[in-house]
Chains A and B, each alone.
Chain A
Amino acid sequence: MHPIVSALKHHKTTVVLVVLEIALTCAIVTNALFLIGDRLVAMRMHTGVADNELVWARTSGLDLGQAADTRSPASVAAADMAALRAMPGVESVAMTNSLPLAGDYWSMGVWRRPGDKTSILDNVVEYLGSPGMLRTLGIKLSAGRDFEPQEYVDYNPFKHQPPPTVAVVTRTLAEQLWPGENPLGKPMYLDSEGKHAVQVVGVVDHLLNPAINKYQGVERNLILPVTRVQGGMYVLRVRPDARAAVARDLPSVLTGIDPARIVTKHEVYADTVKDYYHGDRAMVWLLVVVTGCLLALTALGVVGLSSFWVQQRTRQIGIRRAIGATRCDILRYFQFENLLIVGAGIVLGSLGAVGLNLWLMKHYELAHMPLAWLGSGAVALWLLGQLAVLGPALRAAAVPPVVATRSV
């Protein structure tokens, strides 16, 4: 048997402890790195709109029972839009029911064939947009065309009104409705009887849902053209440098048009996106800190043990040096020994990592970890082990041969 292995047999307990520590660290670190990667990928997804040029506001009317405002909601909305467009720095204004990652969403079923109840695709997110919505939000069509002026209709999904006759769909939705086919010109139905066909006139490659979850997915949505969105939001396309000023002045402009209401929320859109990912960012930081601490701790443990072994074996090292071993041989010896111990820990830890991932998948709906991630944990620990052992190993290599002739 190789001398390193037989030497380790004299320190069974300590070796077992270090292997165990490395295995646990490996299992936790591998899963943590996987989670970090997973979240970072999710956070880098493009929203599909002009993130840095939008400002939005939601208002809510107050029912005070005072001298009734004779204007209709539609004319108030028109006055609002005109006033908002006149604000300095504002390029265009539109109404929508929500924005990507803004939280609130409407979802419904879509039928592929009229009257065929089984042809339903459920949990499709609905964006409603007033004239100019695609341009204002900066949504880029990859195929087809924008809506024509006459295609915008009066529609509210909560009232029994016929829907618009045309829609823009995301690539994701198109693939789920008609896999592998060209969606342009295809009809779909928003009611189970299939009374009203809605024709696809445009396709966007990327447009995130207002909220990403397991029901509605990431990008399963469509856009319908409407004249006005009840209970919707105003979205303003603004020069990036004018965003803060526009967001500040928005409430006074809107209450100036109609004082009997409250601007319930107004925000620069970039902040909305930032807020949406807050939980993910916090999780990533937590994982980074814990991973860092764990690796540091394991490294310190390895340093402590190696130092002890070097001290314990000073005499043997001296003897080896006296009978011809070079400094390099001694250095290699400790490095190789560390490699073996860490390797054993990694083998055990990889099994643990896979087990941990399976358990997490079962209880917390986490994704399946591709086996390639095991490599990341293994490399991290091998490097760490070698780095940790370097100091004690160099000290061992510096032991002079004369030690062999002295009593310790």
Chain B
Amino acid sequence: MFAYYLDLALRSLKRNKVLTALMVLAIALGIGASMTMITVLHVMTADPIPGRSGKLFYPQVDPQGMDGYSMASNPPEELTWIDAQNLLRAHKGVRQVAMSGGQVTVVPPQGATHAFFANARYASADFFAMFEVPFVAGGGWTASDDDKHARVAVIARDLADRLYGTPHAVGRTLRLGKYDFRIIGVIDRWDPTPHYYDLSTGNYARLEQVFVPFQTAMELKQSTRGGMSCWGDFPADGELTRADQCAWVQFWVQLDTPAQVAAYHGFLDSYSAQQKALGRFQRPPNTRLYDVMAWLDHNHVVPGSVQLQTLLALGFLLVCLINTVALLLVKFLRRGGELSVRRAMGASKRSVFAQLLTEAALIGLAGGAAGLLLAAFGLWVVRQQPVPYAALAHLDGAMLGTTFVLAVCATLLAAVFPAWRACGLVPARLLKTQ
């Protein structure tokens, strides 16, 4: 029976090629535009560390003065060096890391005339285990390396290739400015997107090239990068580890169970109260604890323009669908005579309905295929834009399937009403006027 409907549908579509092409084009345009934007939105809102994003938390405390305080005021985005060190030593989470972005001068083996700047991350030992960093060779450092201010470094595979021509660089010496570091690990291809563990260096920043222990980097006065907010005087000597009124340290803690999360909340409050009693804090405990996805949301990682464009694309799809409903209605009602003959010869309302939906599904499939081409073109255009997320705009298998399902479902939905109206025609009346 289905083959017969298919045959009827093909014949009917062929009979009025212009109208058919118009409907396919409408579906294709709507699907193409909306899938382009939905794909961009999908990659931009994807979970950067599936399975663990609900266990990693970004704590905040509020060491600011009482000026401008209200119940609703937000704590500074980052922590002060002192608070970060205190939270690190308290060791209340499964793992915890204090860190900052930075910039180092890499002096390659060819000599100082070839020196260049590289983005760096200064972090405590748990960084690698906590963010599931993949290694080609070697591994991260230990907490005792942190304490000893060890001159060790982990580098990205790209940098190892560039400096030594091989990713197996463990044991080699890396010269940063005037200091030598021993390479103990090389990170494999890894590009967390968005750059969730430190949004202050850019929501879609690339992976840093050099990782060194936080304490070591501070001792050697390496320059830092990232967000900083100050509510008092910056120390005249520029020494960040003594700046008690400047928050600039990123901090993450891993908490595996809801009980641990609740306990950590309590810990942050009691820590704040204790610091207030000591006179360091002035405000009543004002703490926050965001998990990864909440942190991304809090920082508005997805640009408003992308959301706006997605909205525009969906509006466009809606107009395309209404257009399709209208055109299908015209098409089906125009064939009242033919349908009446089928009804008069014994076809049930249901089989006429099924026949019309088959026809609509064919249009949906054709529209989906054309829409896919348009979406591929749209994503290519997005990739040509000099925006940091451009490289992410690719169709994956899931989105490919979604495109077809969306196209066919949308068309079927659009066809239900016209098909139902066409089934409701009274055969006798139409046959009589003919």
| Residues of A that sit less than 8 Å from B by CB | 13-14, 17-18, 20-21, 24-25, 28, 32, 60, 62-66, 158-160, 259-260, 262, 264, 275, 278-279, 282-283, 286-287, 290, 293-294, 297-298, 300-301, 304-305, 308, 311, 360, 363-365
Contacts and interface: CB of A to CB of B under 8 A. Distances in A.
B178 A293 contact: no
B33 A293 contact: yes
A73 to B, nearest CB: 16
A140 to B, nearest CB: 32
A62 B177 contact: yes
Given A28-B312, A63-B105, A305-B326, A365 B319 contact: no
Interface centre among B236, B309, B326, B387, by most A CB within 10 Å? B326
A391 B309 CA distance: 34
Contacts of A259: 113
Contacts of B116: 262
A275 B29 CA distance: 30
B236 A65 contact: no
List 4 tightest A-B contacts by C-beta distance, closest first.
Answer: A65-B178, A17-B326, A308-B330, A301-B323
A62 B105 contact: yes
Contact of B323 (A21, A32, A63, A363): A21
A383 B313 CA distance: 24
A66 B386 CA distance: 38
Interface string B96-131: 000000000101000011011100000000000000
27 contacts: A13-B421, A14-B326, A14-B329, A17-B329, A20-B322, A24-B319, A28-B316, A62-B112, A62-B115, A65-B178, A158-B234, A262-B115, A262-B117, A264-B117, A275-B386, A279-B387, A282-B385, A283-B305, A290-B33, A297-B29, A297-B319, A297-B323, A298-B319, A301-B323, A304-B327, A304-B330, A363-B304
Contacts, number: 106
A25 B313 CA distance: 12
A32 to B, nearest CB: 7
Contacts of A294: 316, 319
A279 B389 CA distance: 13
A364 B312 CA distance: 13
Given A63-B105, A297-B320, A13 B308 contact: no
A248 B22 CA distance: 52
A304 B326 contact: yes
Interface of B: 19, 22, 25-26, 29, 33, 105, 107, 112-113, 115-117, 177-179, 234, 236, 304-305, 307-309, 312-313, 315-316, 318-320, 322-323, 325-327, 329-330, 333-334, 385-387, 421
A64 to B, nearest CB: 5
B329 A300 contact: no
A64 B322 contact: no
B319 A364 contact: no
A24 B113 CA distance: 63
B329 to A, nearest CB: 6
B178 A25 contact: no
Main secondary structure of the interface of A (DSSP, over half): helix
A35 B234 CA distance: 42
A92 to B, nearest CB: 30
Given A158-B234, A364-B308, A298 B323 contact: yes
Contacts of A262: 115-117
Contacts of B385: 278, 282
Contacts of A20: 322
A105 to B, nearest CB: 16
A35 to B, nearest CB: 9
A28 B112 CA distance: 58
Contact of A32 (B26, B312, B326, B333): B312
B187 to A, nearest CB: 24
Nearest to A64: B112
Given A20-B322, A294-B316, A364 B105 contact: no
Contacts of A364: 304, 307-308
A24 B30 CA distance: 14
B326 A301 contact: yes
B315 A24 contact: yes
A364 to B, nearest CB: 5
A28 B315 contact: yes
Contact of B22 (A66, A304, A308, A363): A304
Contact of B322 (A17, A28, A60): A17
Contacts of A63: 105, 177-178
A60 B308 CA distance: 39
A299 B245 CA distance: 63
A298 B107 CA distance: 62
Nearest to A60: B117
B128 to A, nearest CB: 28
Most B C-beta atoms less than 10 A away, residue of A28, A275, A297: A297
Nearest to A360: B308
A287 B313 CA distance: 10
A28 B117 contact: no
Q: Which of A24, A28, A283, A304 has the most CB of B within 10 A?
A: A304
